[in-house]
């Protein structure tokens, strides 16, 4: 016998909230101010009860908004990598019937009305923290996916390379027990911590106002790992390529000298993982037990 379909009323009873609250939460509506905790509880209860929304496949195509961090001092290499990632996201979203708008902004709060005017179905945050999201007015009701970023908020999915694992792999390939790390500046504090946790502070170079020549001189007897394609090109002009490994986001292998060790975690893979999460969230076709941190590049 066919199982009876779970209703919104059953979800409301299970959550101890009104039917309207369930409807607003499941439809990502901004008509009512629902706390993020309530919204999460409703969505997770719906998944646990195997709720299947009617007519999902018949909905009109939505719009995605891709927000790219723009901060003073951001290096050209980091900006190009983020724009390339945004381009890959846009192309893959179009295949899913979602048009995408790209916005390069500094303060999210200052530009929130501009974002909401686009009526997004889903938001992608590139290299941003989650701290300001809870204080937005009106509140954010759309699913948010942080890409090449990290935060500790369980409300949001994060898609990023597994930097500690990748740095360890690079060190092993170089035969280096204590590699130095060179990276572009990032806005997300949690991402910066994720990237540098396994490296001593004196062995970390962030390409925002530091003296590269002096850093390389102090580490001339060591091998190093670079995060950032254009940064790697620059470093290879000053340091032996055979003692360097790059964690590469851009799919342009011709950029690098032959002796440079390249560990590719292409932006297309990051975008594909983020779009898959977005598709699942918008249709409620996702596993609520799945980790909210999707780590890439952990394979051999």
For residues 82 and 177, state if they share a domain: no
**Residue 202 within any structural domain of the chain:** yes
**Token pair of 231 as six digits:** 């940064």
For residues 97 and 143, state if they share a domain: yes
pLDDT (tens place) for every residue of the chain, 300 residues total: 445 677 888 888 888 887 777 877 776 655 556 776 777 778 778 877 877 765 444 444 578 999 998 776 678 898 899 999 999 999 999 998 889 999 998 888 889 999 988 988 889 999 888 877 878 887 777 888 999 988 888 778 899 999 999 999 999 999 999 999 999 988 888 888 989 998 999 999 999 888 999 999 999 999 999 999 999 999 999 999 999 999 999 988 789 999 999 999 999 999 999 999 998 888 776 666 678 889 998 654
How far apart CA 254 and CA 114 sit, in angstroms, is 39
Q: Which domain holds residue 262?
A: 163-266
**Residue 189 within any structural domain of the chain:** yes
Secondary structure (DSSP) of 103-150: EEES-TGGGHHHHHTT--SEEEEES--STTGGG-SSPP-S-EEEES--
For residues 141 and 235, state if they share a domain: no
Radius of gyration over every alpha carbon of the chain, rounded to an integer in angstroms: 21
List C-alpha distances in Å: 109 to 25, 82, 132: 22, 21, 7
- Is cis: bond before 138, omega within 30 of 0? yes
**Residue 206 within any structural domain of the chain:** yes
Residues 6+ apart with CB under 8 A from 6: 46, 49, 50, 51, 52
For CA atoms 227, 230, 232, 235, the dihedral sign is negative
How far apart CA 243 and CA 232 sit, in angstroms, is 12
- State how many domains the chain has: 3
Helix, strand, or coil here: 81? helix
For residues 274 and 259, state if they share a domain: no
CATH number at residue 92: 3.40.50.2300
The DSSP letter of residue 292 is S
Rounded to two decimals, what is the model's pTM? 0.83
For residues 28 and 38, state if they share a domain: yes
How far apart CA 144 and CA 148 sit, in angstroms, is 13
Helix, strand, or coil here: 65? strand
**Token pair of 92 as six digits:** 């893959």
**Residue 3 within any structural domain of the chain:** no
**Residue 72 within any structural domain of the chain:** yes
Q: Which residue has the tokens 């846009």?
A: 90
**Residue 2 within any structural domain of the chain:** no
* pLDDT given for residue 262 in this prediction: 96
**Residue 50 within any structural domain of the chain:** yes
* pLDDT given for residue 206 in this prediction: 93
For residues 184 and 143, state if they share a domain: no
For residues 199 and 289, state if they share a domain: no
* pLDDT given for residue 1 in this prediction: 40
Helix, strand, or coil here: 281? helix
Chain Cα centroid distance, residue 122: 13
**Residue 88 within any structural domain of the chain:** yes
For residues 239 and 249, state if they share a domain: yes
For residues 183 and 258, state if they share a domain: yes
Burial grade of 270 (CB within 10 A; 0-12, 13-18, 19 or more):
buried
How far apart CA 158 and CA 291 sit, in angstroms, is 9
CATH number at residue 35: 1.10.260.40
For residues 147 and 77, state if they share a domain: yes
For residues 157 and 272, state if they share a domain: yes
For residues 128 and 34, state if they share a domain: no
* pLDDT given for residue 81 in this prediction: 94
């Amino acid at each position: 016998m066919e199982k009876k379909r779970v209703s919104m009323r059953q979800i409301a009873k299970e959550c101890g909230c009104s039917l309207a609250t369930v409807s607003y939460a499941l439809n990502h509506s901004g008509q009512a101010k629902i706390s993020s905790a309530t919204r999460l509880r409703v969505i997770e209860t719906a998944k646990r009860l195997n709720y299947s929304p009617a007519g999902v496949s018949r909905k009109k195509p939505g719009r995605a908004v891709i927000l790219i961090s723009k901060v003073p001092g951001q290096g050209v290499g980091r900006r190009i990598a983020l724009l390339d990632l945004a381009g890959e996201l846009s192309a893959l979203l179009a295949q899913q019937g979602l048009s995408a708008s790209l916005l390069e902004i500094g303060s999210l709060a200052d530009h929130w009305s501009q974002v909401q005017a686009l009526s997004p179905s889903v938001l992608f945050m590139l290299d941003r923290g989650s701290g300001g999201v809870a204080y937005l007015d009106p509140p954010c009701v759309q699913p948010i996916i942080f890409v090449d970023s990290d935060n500790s908020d369980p409300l949001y999915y994060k898609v990023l390379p597994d930097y500690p694992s990748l740095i360890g792999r690079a060190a092993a390939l170089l035969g280096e027990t204590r590699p130095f790390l060179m990276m572009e500046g990032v806005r997300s504090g949690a991402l910066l911590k994720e990237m540098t946790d396994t490296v001593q502070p004196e062995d970390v170079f962030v390409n925002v106002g530091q003296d590269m020549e002096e850093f390389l001189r102090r580490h001339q007897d060591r091998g190093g790992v670079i995060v950032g394609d254009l940064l790697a090109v620059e470093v290879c002009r000053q340091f032996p390529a055979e003692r360097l490994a790059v964690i590469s986001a851009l799919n342009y292998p011709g950029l690098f000298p032959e002796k440079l060790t390249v560990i590719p975690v292409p932006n297309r893979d990051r975008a594909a993982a983020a779009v898959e999460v977005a598709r699942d969230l918008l249709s409620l076709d996702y596993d609520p037990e799945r980790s909210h941190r999707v780590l890439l590049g952990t394979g051999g």
